[in-house]
Structure formats: structure tokens, C-alpha cells
């Protein structure tokens, strides 16, 4: 200590300053410089706009000109004075019900059958995954044609000899414009989106099932469990974390859906397939009701946030999620 | 006897799985069939294999769909995004995996929370911000957005790849006098390239197929990527099933080739984001 104090001139100070600075450089500054570029981009694209969305949602801004602060008026309008929003929200719930059942049923069936198969397993995996990598615009176009009233699958089947017999037995004519009728349009779009989605789920479940210890199945067989009982008591508990996580993700996505609906019908006919995503898009980029659309975007996002919250709470309560 | 009893369920499995194969594959096959049919043939034979091959459909679709321009636009977006995600995300992941500066846990937490923020929350303010920065109708504008939206997944995946690399190799490089940046590019990158390839494929596929952000942030046709351009094309020539099919085949051909060549990496990468370990 005495030495340090006595040599407190520039030359004596230097050897002490340098290591401290170099340590700071090596341990903190340089490592943070590695992180900084991507963090800066992310803050610019996601964080700053997310925060300003809170502000915009409380204004009556129309995209240009002046913005007036209106408090929670936009949110009040959403839930009390906007039948289109409520209709879209209802469609999102129908979408949610569809996607929490149909793709999961398909994928659980396919994955559990595939897990027991050795020959051709790679081929099945490859084929089931293929629709997932198709761009949405292409998938939409393929199915637009396959569901068309005269040349589509339904029309061709109805016109076939088997179809003609079935029509006589009471099967309805399937040569209808599935995407053009208010009663079929939403489920048709969900069907198309599901065609692209179920194979992805299948592969996820398959990977999870392959990690279930084989001894558990052997033990179940010794206890005399049949295949269905093995599925219920061994497979499902074994893949539970993946299953619940994907249920949560799928539920979140159900409130954010946009692409397939926009490409196929833009919410039509007569608003029958309107979902929150298409409605926000119209309000923001076609009607320029910017403040109102921001409030809607915030509301949609809080539905997604609510689902995450439910899962966190269940987890805290001791559910193994 | 025993063998028969084991075979029976397998055959049942194959029957159901084959039906699902038809479900997954038939629409794609019909697309390929119709891309080489004449419109007259599609009228009489909309689903079956073609009787004559009309490869000129591709030339017509290429010209009318302005594919030489839209493919170039999309390639710029893919290369730009993949490069920036791998370089910038890789540097951040390296810092998180090895250098662990004070406060880096906070950065991880930020990325984890950010990964759950839906696009719909920040889309409108982002559009306004991009308009004021002159980044609408601008490839750089899209590359920045794609880089940001892909970065959480890329950083977490790359970090886990980098952690698995033995530390001794880096220490040896440091001893030889390499600095951190040199170590990253000369030692880490060559060893972790499979991880980088996986992330690059996933990000590249995502950007090539991306529709929603491109629809909103690019409104001038000369900057359209393949997806929004195809959307406009299909709305215009919607009745021309042969032409739209040929255009679709050209758009998915690179995806399918990459997928078949590198399927394992695709599947691993695309499922990695969703599987909890």
C-alpha cells in the first residue's frame, strides 16, 4: 500500500491501470460488442415498436396527421361496438377448437403407428414432413383447385361410378365451391392449413415417442395391456411435455392466424371467414384506422399472452408441463 | 405362428400410414401433373397424370410471372438474412456460450421473452417506423425484420451447438496469440458448421416462403419476392390452372431439392424450436 501511494505518479500508475482496463475489455466490453449488433436490430424491430404499440392503441391516429389521446376508448369500441371484431373472435375460437383436435388426432395416430414400423420409416417421415415445407401461397393454390366446384376432388368423386351410387344412397353432391359458401369456408381453410401442419406435429410426436423407454411397454404387455391401453397409459404420459407444449403453441397460433385466410378468401364471403388477423390487416393497411388497429393487435397478443400465463400458472401448481 | 402374430399389426399400420401418404402426397403430385398439361387437358382430366407433356408452360409462367426478377429479389433476401443471422447471431451465441460477460443472463431472458411476442403486437408501429426510415419497398428493410424475428431461435440453437465444442481447442488458439474474433472464425466456425448449416437452412426456408411481412412491407411489384409475386400472379391468372401450377413448381423446386438433399438437418432444425428437452 505504501509503495503504491509513494509511486502515485504517471509512470508508477500505468502498470496498475492497464490490467484493470484490459480485464474490463476482455471480460465485458468485447463480449458485449459481440452481442450488441443483433440486440440493436432486435430492439429496433421488436422492442421499440412493441412499446409504442401501447401508446398508439390509446390514440385515434389515422396513419397521418395528428394523434389524439383517447384513453381506452378503442378497447371499449372493440368489445361493445364492433360486430365484425366479435365475429372474427368467434371464428378464432372455432379455429382453436379445430386445431386442438383434428391435427392432434391425426398426428397422434400417425406417430404411434409410425413408431412401431421399421420398414419404410424414413420414407413415411419424409413424405409426412413434405407439406410443412411448402410455401403457404403454393399450398393455398393447390387446394383452391382441388376444392373447386367442377374440377376439384369433390366434383370428380361425385361424378365417378362409386360417387354416383353413393349420391343415390343419400351422399350430398361434393361438387360445391367449398371456399365460396359461408357455411363451409372457415372449416375448408382450416382443413387446408391443417394439411400443411399435421405432418410437422407427427414428426415432433414421433421423436418424443422414440424417447419413451421400451421397458415401460414391456411391463405394460406383461400386465396384459392391449395396444389402446398401452397408448393411453404409456405413450401419452411419455410424450406429455411435448404434447402439452404443442397444445399451448397451437392455441397461441390460433389467435394469430392470417396467411391462409388472407390468401384464400381475405375473410370472405360476407365476412364468414374473418379472423382477427385479417381484420387487423384491413383496419391498419386498407382503412388506415391505425390507432384502432393497434388496439386490436394488442388485444390479439394478450390472448396469446393469456394462454402462456395459464400454462405458467398450471406449472407453478405442480403440473408437469 | 408367433411371426404371423407380430406381422399382423405391422400390416395394419402400413395400410393406415399409406392412406396418410396419399393425403400428404396427392396434392403435390396433382400440382406437378398439372404443371405440364395444357388447359384443355386439365378441363377433361383435372387430377390424373398428363397425356402429353407441355413443358412450354414453364417458359410462359417464367415470363408472365416475372420470375427472373422475383427470384433474384428472393435470393437477395435469403442470402442477406441468412448471412446476418449466422454472423451476428453466431457472434452473440459465441459470447453467451463462452465469454459469458456480466449481464448476459439478462440478454438471454430478453431473447426468451421476445421470442413469444407476436408479430401483430408490433407490426403497425414497425410499419410506421419503417416508413419514416425509408425502409418500405427496400430489401434492407425486410432483411432487418427477418434477422430480428429469426434471431431468438438462431441464438439459442447456435449457443447449444457452441457449448458442445471442446474448450481446449480455443485455449490452444489463444495460446498461439489469436484474438477472440479470429478464434471464432478460424476455430469455432469450422467445427460448428453443421449447427450453422442447420440454422441457415431453417432461416433460408423461412425467408423464401415468407408471405405476411413481405405483403405488408413491399408494395411495389419490382421489389416483390416470389411469394407475394406468386399471390398477385395467381389472383390474375387464377383460372389458368396450368400456368399457376407451373409457376408454383418453379417456386418450390429449390425447396424440394434442398429438402431431399439435406432432409435430416431440415427436420432437426425445424423441430428443434418446438421440442422441449
User: How distant is the Cα of B34 from the closest Cα of chain A, in angstroms?
Assistant: 10
- The CATH number covering residue B244 comes to 1.10.3720.10
Same domain, B87 and B155: yes
Reported as a single tens digit per residue, the pLDDT across A21-57 is 888 877 888 899 999 999 999 999 999 999 999 999 9
Residue A95 has pLDDT above 90, yes or no: yes
**Number of domains into which chain A is organized:** 2
| Listed residue (B74, B89, B34) closest to B58, CA to CA | B34
pLDDT band at A321 (very low <50, low <70, confident <90, very high): low
pLDDT for B274: 55
Segment B174-189 mean pLDDT:
81
pLDDT for B205: 93
Asked if B234 and A141 come within 8 Å (Cβ–Cβ), the reply is: yes
Asked if B263 and A153 come within 8 Å (Cβ–Cβ), the reply is: no
A230 touching B, CB under 8 A? no
User: How distant is the Cα of A301 from the closest Cα of chain B, in angstroms?
Assistant: 6
**Residues recorded for chain A:** 321
Asked, for residue A213, whether it belongs to a domain, the answer is yes
pLDDT for B2: 42
Same domain, A52 and A200: no
Q: What is the DSSP string of B177-199?
A: T--HHHHIIIIIHHHSHHHHHHH
Asked if B24 and A130 come within 8 Å (Cβ–Cβ), the reply is: yes
Same domain, A219 and A263: yes
Structural domain harbouring A120: 83-136+196-316
Chain B partners of A262 at a C-beta cutoff of 8 Å? 212, 215
Asked if B144 and A52 come within 8 Å (Cβ–Cβ), the reply is: no
Same domain, A102 and A41: no
Compute the distance between CA of residue B196 and CA of residue B54 in angstroms, rounded to an integer.
40
Same domain, B173 and B75: yes
Compute the distance between CA of residue A242 and CA of residue A248 in angstroms, rounded to an integer.
10
Residue A2 has pLDDT above 80, yes or no: no
pLDDT for B193: 85
Q: Which of B7, B11, B14, B24 is the best mutation test for A, with the most CBs of A within 10 A?
A: B24
Chain B partners of A142 at a C-beta cutoff of 8 Å? 27-28, 30-31, 248
Q: Which of B19, B125, B228, B229 is the best mutation test for A, with the most CBs of A within 10 A?
A: B125
Same domain, B101 and B215: yes
Asked if B147 and A280 come within 8 Å (Cβ–Cβ), the reply is: no
Asked, for residue B221, whether it belongs to a domain, the answer is yes
Which of A46-60, A101-115, B32-46, B261-275 has the weakest average pLDDT?
Answer: B261-275
In A, minimum Cα distance to B142 occurs at A45
Reported as a single tens digit per residue, the pLDDT across A166-199 is 888 888 888 888 999 999 999 999 999 999 999 9
Rounded to the nearest integer, the mean pLDDT of chain A is: 89
Reported as a single tens digit per residue, the pLDDT across B86-118 is 999 999 999 999 889 999 999 999 998 888 899
| Listed residue (B252, B203, B246, B204) closest to B227, CA to CA | B252
Reported as a single tens digit per residue, the pLDDT across A244-292 is 999 999 999 999 999 999 999 999 899 999 999 999 999 999 999 999 9
**Number of domains into which chain B is organized:** 2
Chain A partners of B226 at a C-beta cutoff of 8 Å? 135
A300 touching B, CB under 8 A? yes
pLDDT for A12: 46
Same domain, B34 and B159: no
Same domain, B175 and B257: yes
Same domain, B39 and B144: no
In B, minimum Cα distance to A130 occurs at B24
Segment B124-139 mean pLDDT:
95
Rounded to the nearest integer, the mean pLDDT of chain B is: 89
Asked if B227 and A137 come within 8 Å (Cβ–Cβ), the reply is: yes
Reported as a single tens digit per residue, the pLDDT across A112-152 is 999 988 888 999 999 999 999 999 999 999 999 999 888 88
Asked, for residue B277, whether it belongs to a domain, the answer is no
Same domain, B31 and B119: no
Asked, for residue A259, whether it belongs to a domain, the answer is yes
Same domain, A49 and A87: no
Asked if A252 and B103 come within 8 Å (Cβ–Cβ), the reply is: no
pLDDT for A6: 45
A63 touching B, CB under 8 A? yes
Residue B9 has pLDDT above 90, yes or no: no
Compute the distance between CA of residue B27 and CA of residue B47 in angstroms, rounded to an integer.
9
The C-alpha angle A294, A297, A298, rounded to 5 degrees, equals 90
Compute the distance between CA of residue A48 and CA of residue B126 in angstroms, rounded to an integer.
8
Chain B partners of A151 at a C-beta cutoff of 8 Å? 42-43, 46-47, 241
Same domain, A308 and A200: yes
A195 touching B, CB under 8 A? yes
Same domain, B106 and B174: yes
Out of A32, A259, A294, name the one closest to residue B125 (CB). Answer: A294
Asked, for residue B178, whether it belongs to a domain, the answer is yes
Segment B195-209 mean pLDDT:
92
Asked, for residue B240, whether it belongs to a domain, the answer is yes
The C-alpha angle B114, A130, A95, rounded to 5 degrees, equals 55
Same domain, B49 and B71: no
Same domain, A105 and A206: yes
Same domain, A214 and A106: yes
pLDDT band at A109 (very low <50, low <70, confident <90, very high): very high
Asked, for residue B241, whether it belongs to a domain, the answer is yes
User: How distant is the Cα of B136 from the closest Cα of chain A, in angstroms?
Assistant: 13
ipTM of this complex > 0.85? yes
Asked, for residue A216, whether it belongs to a domain, the answer is yes
Residue A203 has pLDDT above 90, yes or no: yes
pLDDT for B96: 93
Residue B179 has pLDDT above 90, yes or no: no
Asked if A128 and B111 come within 8 Å (Cβ–Cβ), the reply is: no
Out of A48, A139, A301, name the one closest to residue B120 (CB). Answer: A301
Asked if B216 and A227 come within 8 Å (Cβ–Cβ), the reply is: no
pLDDT for A183: 92
Contact B142, B214 (CB under 8 A): yes
Residue A13 has pLDDT above 60, yes or no: no
Residue A303 has pLDDT above 70, yes or no: yes
CB atoms within 10 A of CB A32: 18
Asked, for residue B119, whether it belongs to a domain, the answer is yes
Asked, for residue A251, whether it belongs to a domain, the answer is yes
Q: Please write down the long-range contacts of A173-176, taking CB distance under 8 Å and 24 or more positions apart.
A: A175/A149, A175/A150, A176/A149
- The CATH number covering residue A229 comes to 1.10.3720.10
End-to-end distance of chain B based on CA atoms, in angstroms? 41
Asked if A125 and B96 come within 8 Å (Cβ–Cβ), the reply is: no
Structural domain harbouring B70: 62-272
The C-alpha cell of A149 is what?
366446384
A68 touching B, CB under 8 A? no
Residue A10 has pLDDT above 70, yes or no: no
Residue B161 or A319, more confident: B161
Compute the distance between CA of residue A29 and CA of residue A20 in angstroms, rounded to an integer.
12
pLDDT for B55: 93
Asked, for residue B251, whether it belongs to a domain, the answer is yes
Compute the distance between CA of residue A259 and CA of residue B211 in angstroms, rounded to an integer.
7
Residue A3 has pLDDT above 80, yes or no: no
Same domain, B37 and B96: no
Same domain, A240 and A303: yes
Compute the distance between CA of residue A149 and CA of residue A23 in angstroms, rounded to an integer.
72
Same domain, B222 and B240: yes
Same domain, A50 and A89: no
Which of A228-237, B20-29, B111-120, B268-277 has the weakest average pLDDT?
Answer: B268-277
pLDDT band at B156 (very low <50, low <70, confident <90, very high): very high
Same domain, B48 and B72: no
In B, minimum Cα distance to A303 occurs at B118
Segment B163-190 mean pLDDT:
81
Asked, for residue B189, whether it belongs to a domain, the answer is yes
Amino acid at each position: 500500500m505504501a509503495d503504491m501511494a509513494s509511486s502515485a505518479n504517471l509512470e508508477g500508475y500505468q502498470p496498475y491501470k492497464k490490467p484493470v482496463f484490459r480485464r474490463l475489455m476482455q471480460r465485458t466490453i468485447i463480449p458485449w460488442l459481440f452481442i450488441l449488433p443483433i440486440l440493436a436490430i432486435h430492439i429496433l424491430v421488436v422492442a421499440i415498436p412493441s412499446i409504442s404499440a401501447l401508446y398508439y392503441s390509446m390514440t385515434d391516429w389515422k396513419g397521418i396527421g395528428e394523434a389524439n389521446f383517447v384513453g381506452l376508448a378503442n378497447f371499449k369500441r372493440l368489445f361493445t361496438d364492433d360486430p365484425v371484431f366479435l365475429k372474427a373472435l368467434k371464428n378464432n375460437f372455432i379455429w382453436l377448437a379445430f386445431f386442438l383436435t383434428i391435427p392432434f388426432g391425426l398426428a397422434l395416430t400417425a406417430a404411434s403407428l409410425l413408431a412401431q414400423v421399421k420398414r419404410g420409416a424414413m420414407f413415411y417421415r419424409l413424405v409426412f414432413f413434405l407439406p410443412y415445407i411448402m410455401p403457404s401461397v403454393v399450398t393455398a393454390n393447390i387446394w383452391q383447385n382441388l376444392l373447386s366446384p367442377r374440377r376439384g376432388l369433390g366434383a370428380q368423386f361425385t361424378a365417378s361410378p362409386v360417387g354416383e351410387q353413393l349420391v343415390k344412397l343419400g351422399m350430398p353432391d361434393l361438387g360445391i365451391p367449398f371456399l365460396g359458401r359461408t357455411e363451409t369456408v372457415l372449416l375448408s381453410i382450416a382443413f387446408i392449413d391443417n394439411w400443411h401442419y399435421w405432418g410437422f406435429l407427427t414428426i415432433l410426436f414421433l421423436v418424443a415417442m422414440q424417447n419413451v423407454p421400451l421397458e415401460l411397454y414391456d411391463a405394460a404387455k406383461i400386465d396384459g395391456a392391449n395396444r389402446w391401453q398401452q397408448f393411453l397409459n404409456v405413450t401419452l404420459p411419455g410424450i406429455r411435455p411435448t404434447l402439452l407444449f404443442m397444445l399451448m403453441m397451437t392455441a397461441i397460433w390460433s389467435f394469430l392466424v392470417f396467411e391462409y385466410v388472407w390468401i384464400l378468401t381475405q375473410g370472405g364471403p360476407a365476412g364468414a371467414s374473418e379472423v382477427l388477423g385479417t381484420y387487423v390487416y384491413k383496419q391498419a393497411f386498407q382503412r388506415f384506422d391505425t390507432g384502432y388497429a393497434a388496439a386490436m393487435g394488442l388485444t390479439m397478443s394478450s390472448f396469446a399472452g393469456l394462454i402462456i400465463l395459464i400454462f405458467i400458472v398450471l406449472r407453478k401448481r405442480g403440473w408437469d408441463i | 405362428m408367433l411371426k404371423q402374430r407380430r406381422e399382423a399389426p405391422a400390416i395394419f399400420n402400413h395400410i393406415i400410414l399409406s392412406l396418410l401418404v396419399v393425403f400428404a402426397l396427392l396434392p403435390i403430385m396433382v400440382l406437378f401433373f398439372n404443371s405440364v398439361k395444357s388447359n384443355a387437358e386439365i378441363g377433361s382430366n383435372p387430377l390424373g397424370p398428363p397425356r402429353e407433356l407441355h413443358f412450354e408452360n414453364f417458359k410462359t409462367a417464367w415470363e408472365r410471372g416475372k420470375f427472373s426478377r422475383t427470384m433474384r429479389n428472393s435470393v437477395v433476401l435469403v442470402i442477406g438474412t441468412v448471412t446476418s443471422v449466422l454472423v451476428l447471431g453466431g457472434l452473440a451465441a459465441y459470447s453467451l456460450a463462452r465469454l459469458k460477460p456480466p449481464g448476459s443472463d439478462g440478454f438471454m431472458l430478453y431473447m426468451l421473452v421476445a421470442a413469444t411476442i407476436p408479430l401483430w403486437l408490433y407490426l403497425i408501429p414497425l410499419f410506421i417506423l419503417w416508413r419514416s426510415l425509408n425502409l418500405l419497398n427496400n430489401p434492407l428493410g425486410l432483411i432487418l425484420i427477418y434477422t430480428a424475428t429469426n434471431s431468438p431461435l438462431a441464438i439459442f440453437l447456435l449457443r447449444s451447438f457452441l457449448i458442445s465444442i471442446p474448450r481446449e481447442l480455443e485455449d490452444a488458439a489463444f495460446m498461439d496469440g489469436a484474438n477472440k474474433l479470429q478464434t471464432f472464425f478460424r476455430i469455432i466456425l469450422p467445427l460448428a458448421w453443421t449447427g450453422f448449416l442447420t440454422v441457415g437452412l431453417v432461416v433460408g426456408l423461412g425467408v423464401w416462403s415468407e408471405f405476411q411481412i413481405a405483403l405488408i412491407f413491399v408494395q411495389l411489384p419490382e421489389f416483390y419476392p416470389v411469394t407475394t409475386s406468386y399471390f398477385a400472379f395467381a389472383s390474375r391468372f387464377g383460372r389458368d390452372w396450368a400456368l399457376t401450377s407451373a409457376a408454383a413448381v418453379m417456386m418450390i423446386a429449390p425447396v424440394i431439392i434442398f429438402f431431399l438433399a439435406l432432409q435430416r438437418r431440415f427436420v432437426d432444425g425445424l423441430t428443434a424450436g418446438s421440442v422441449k428437452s
